[in-house]
A and B are shown apart, each in its own frame.
Chain A
Amino acid sequence: MSVITYREAVSSVLREALDEDERVFLMGEDIGPYGGAFAVTQGFTEKYGKKRIKDSPLAESVIVGAGVGAAMAGLRPVVELMTINFSLLAMDQIVNHAAKIRYMSGGQFSIPLIIRTVTGAGASVGATHSQSFEGMYASIPGLTVVTPATPSDVIGLFRSCRELNDPVLFVEHILLYGTRGEAPSVGDYRVPIGKADVRRSGKDITLCGYSRMANVAEQAAGILAQEGIEADVIDLRTLRPLDSETLVNSVKKTHRALMVEETTRIGGFAGELVSQIQEDAFDYLDAPVARVAGAEVPMPYSYPLEMAAIPSVDAVAAAARKLVNGS
C-alpha cells in the first residue's frame, strides 16, 4: 500500500478526470504554467494543453458562471476558486444560479459542475484569508458540499462527485495538503456521497467533526483513550447531504456528544448538528450536546492569537472530559 499526500491525491483525481472524460476541463486563477496556488496542477498545462487547463482572469463570478454555462451546454467543468474566502465574489453564481437552475427550470437543465476550493484557518494569513464558509453553502438546497480530510477520502469522494449531475462544492483544507495517508488500494475505490466515516469506536462520547477538525477530534480521542474515555469519532465527510443517521445512532449509543468545528460558533454548521441530535436522540442524552468552535473574532494574524482562536486537540479533549466526568 502506498502513502501519498493530500495534494498528490487531489492532483491524481484531477488527472484521472482529464484522462477519462473529454468533457472535463479545468478553469481557475493561476492553475496553468504557474501550477496553482497550492501546487495542485503543476505540469498540467504541459500535459493537457491550454484548451483543457484554462488560466482564467481574476474574476470569481465568471469562473463559476462560465462553469455553470458550460455544464448546461453538456461539458463537465471542474473550476477552482483559489480559496473559499474568494467564493464570496462568486456567491451569485453559486447560490443564485448553480444551485437553482435545475429546480427553476422544472428539471430541464442539470449543472454537472465541480467547484474546488480551499477552506480553513491556521496558515497565518489573517482575517480575510482564514475563513470556513462550507457550512454556509451547506444551507443551500441544490448544492452538494463535501469536505475530505484524508488523501483516500479526496480520491473516493472526488470520484463519486464526478458521477453526480449537480453542482458540488469540493472543499479542501489549506493545512492538509502536506499531510500523508494511505492511497486506496482498489482502482475504482469510491466514498459514497452523504456517508460519514466512523474513524474510531467508543462507548463514552461521540466526537463529530469534518475536514481538518475530524483529524483534531481523532487526535483528542487518542488522548482520552489513555485516560480510559472511549470516544466514537465521526468524520462527516459530506455536509450536504448530511449523514445524520450515523451521528444520531452514535449518540444513542454514547449518550454524550461534542461537535468540533473550525468556523465561528454563532451560525456555524455545528448548530445544525446539535439540532438534529436533539430532534432525534433527545431521550438518549445524558448531558447537553456541546460544541468546540472557532472564536467569535476575525482571525488574528499573530500566531499565538490565531492558535487561541482555532479548536485545538487539547481544547477538544478538555471539553470531552468535562462532558463525560461532569467537570
Chain B
Amino acid sequence: MLKAADVPDLTKDDLLGFYRQMKLIREFERESERQYTRGNIKGFLHVYNGEEAIAVGAINTLREDDYIVTHYRDHGQALARGMGSKEVMAELMGKATGCSNGKGGSMHLFSSDLNFMGGYAIVGGQLCIAAGIALAVQYRGDDQVVLCFFGDGAVNEGEFHEAMNLAAIWNLPVIFFCEHNLYGMGASSKETLVMWDSLHEMAAAYGMDRYEVDGNDVLEVRDLMQRINADVRAGKGPAFVVARTYRLRGHSVADPADYRPDDEVQYWESQDPIPRFRDWLTEEGIATVEDFDEIDASVDEEVVIAAEFGESSPWPEPADLYDGVYTDRPTEGIPT
C-alpha cells in the first residue's frame, strides 16, 4: 500500500474526488439494479460493483484528448470519464435523453465529446478497434494514448491475439487493460485460461511491456498507469496491464452467481475497493467521517436525480427508428 507521502501530487480534493467517483459508480449500479427489478431497464445489465478502483484509478490518469475503448461492462468507465449519470441512466432506460438517444443501451455507451469510443459487447472485438485508433494517432504524429479495457474472458478470443500482435509490430500507442475478475460469464478462468494466474506474461509472446496490479487499490492502479501512460506517450509502444479484481455481483443481473465458492466470495468482499480506500483515507488522516458522510449524501442525491431524470425522460419517437443508420442517406426499406 502506498502512503500519503507517496502521492504528493494528489490533494485532499483529488483523493476525495476518487472516493466520490468510486462511490458514485457503486450507488449508480445499485440504482440500476433496482431500476432493472422495476422493469425500467431491460435486456442485459452488467454492473461494475467491486471493480471501481480500476476505472477510477486508470481513467483519471488520462488527458482529455486521450481515447477510451471498453467492453459491455462499461458504466463505471463512462462515469469515471465524466459522462453524466443522468445521460447514462437514461441510456440504460432506452430514453431519448440517453447518451446515444436510447439506440445503444447499457452495453454500448459512447461519447464523442469525451473520446469515449464505445462499449463493445462482442467479446474481444474492441481490442482491434483500439489498435486502429492508436494507428490513427501514430499516423497523425500525435501523442495521445488509447486505453482499451476488456475482461479475462476476452483473452481467449482470436481478436486478442490479432490486436496484440498488430499493436506490437507497429509500435502503437495503446494500453491493453485486462480487468481480471477470475470469471467469464459463469465459467472460472482457472478452467478456461491456461495463463490465468500469470496472465500478464502472455504479453511476453508479443515482446510487450507487461504489468500486474492490485485492481482493488485505486492508488496503485493510478500510480502504475501514470508511468505506463508516460512510456506509451513517449513512443515506447503498447503495454499490457492485468488488474486482479473480482465482480461482487453476478455476471449480469440475471445471474445469482451461485457457482462461486463462499470462501472466495468472502475473501473478495474483504477486498472491496471502496471500504479499503475509505480506511486508507482515514488512517492517513486525510478524511473524516464528516467528509465521507457529505460525499455519500451528495452521491445518493445524484443517483436519485439520475433515476428521476431517466424515468421522466421521453421515449424516442417512433420516427427516430430509422435515424442514424447512415450519415448521408436514409436507410433502405423504410415502409412507405
Interface positions of A (Cβ within 8 A of B)? 25, 51, 54, 56-57, 59, 61-62, 64-75, 77, 92-93, 96-97, 101-110, 141-142, 144, 164-166, 194, 240-242
Interface positions of B (Cβ within 8 A of A)? 67, 69, 98-104, 108, 110-112, 117-118, 120, 122, 125, 127-137, 139-140, 158-159, 161-163, 165-166, 169-170, 323-329, 331-333
In angstroms, Cα B111 to Cα A70, docked, is 17
The reply to whether A65 and B129 contact each other, CB–CB distance below 8 Å, is: yes
The reply to whether B135 and A92 contact each other, CB–CB distance below 8 Å, is: no
**How many residue pairs, one in A and one in B, have C-beta atoms under 8 Å apart?**
154
Pick from A56, A71, A106, A110: contact of B166, CB below 8 A. A56
Majority SS of interface residues in chain B? mixed
In angstroms, Cα B130 to Cα A77, docked, is 15
A contact residues around B327 at 8 Å (CB): 102, 107, 110, 164-166
The reply to whether B133 and A103 contact each other, CB–CB distance below 8 Å, is: no
CB<8 Å pairs between A and B, sample of 18: A51-B139, A61-B128, A62-B128, A65-B129, A66-B132, A69-B136, A70-B133, A73-B136, A92-B125, A93-B128, A97-B120, A103-B324, A105-B118, A106-B103, A108-B100, A142-B331, A194-B329, A240-B332
Q: Given contacts A92-B122, A109-B118, is CB(A73)–CB(B67) below 8 Å?
A: yes
* B330 CB to nearest A CB, Å: 9
The reply to whether A73 and B125 contact each other, CB–CB distance below 8 Å, is: no
The reply to whether A57 and B162 contact each other, CB–CB distance below 8 Å, is: yes
A contact residues around B134 at 8 Å (CB): 69
Q: Given contacts A73-B67, A97-B120, A108-B110, is CB(A62)–CB(B159) below 8 Å?
A: yes
Kindly report which residue of chain B lies nearest to residue A64, judged by CB atoms: B128
The reply to whether B326 and A102 contact each other, CB–CB distance below 8 Å, is: yes
Interface centre among A51, A65, A96 (most CB of B within 10 A): A65
Kindly report which residue of chain B lies nearest to residue A101, judged by CB atoms: B118
B contact residues around A59 at 8 Å (CB): 161-162, 165-166
Known contacts A105-B110, A141-B333; 13 additional CB pairs below 8 A are: A51-B139, A54-B170, A61-B128, A66-B131, A69-B128, A69-B136, A70-B132, A73-B133, A73-B137, A103-B324, A103-B325, A141-B325, A165-B328
B contact residues around A164 at 8 Å (CB): 327-328
A contact residues around B324 at 8 Å (CB): 102-103, 106-107
In angstroms, Cα B169 to Cα A103, docked, is 32
Kindly report which residue of chain A lies nearest to residue B108, judged by CB atoms: A104
* A270 CB to nearest B CB, Å: 17
The reply to whether B159 and A61 contact each other, CB–CB distance below 8 Å, is: yes
Q: Given contacts A57-B162, A67-B132, A93-B125, is CB(A109)–CB(B325) below 8 Å?
A: no
In angstroms, Cα B110 to Cα A110, docked, is 12
Pick from B110, B170, B333: contact of A104, CB below 8 A. B110
User: What 4 A-B pairs come out closest when comparing CB atoms?
Assistant: A69-B132, A65-B128, A106-B100, A66-B132
A contact residues around B139 at 8 Å (CB): 25, 51, 70, 75
The reply to whether B136 and A75 contact each other, CB–CB distance below 8 Å, is: yes
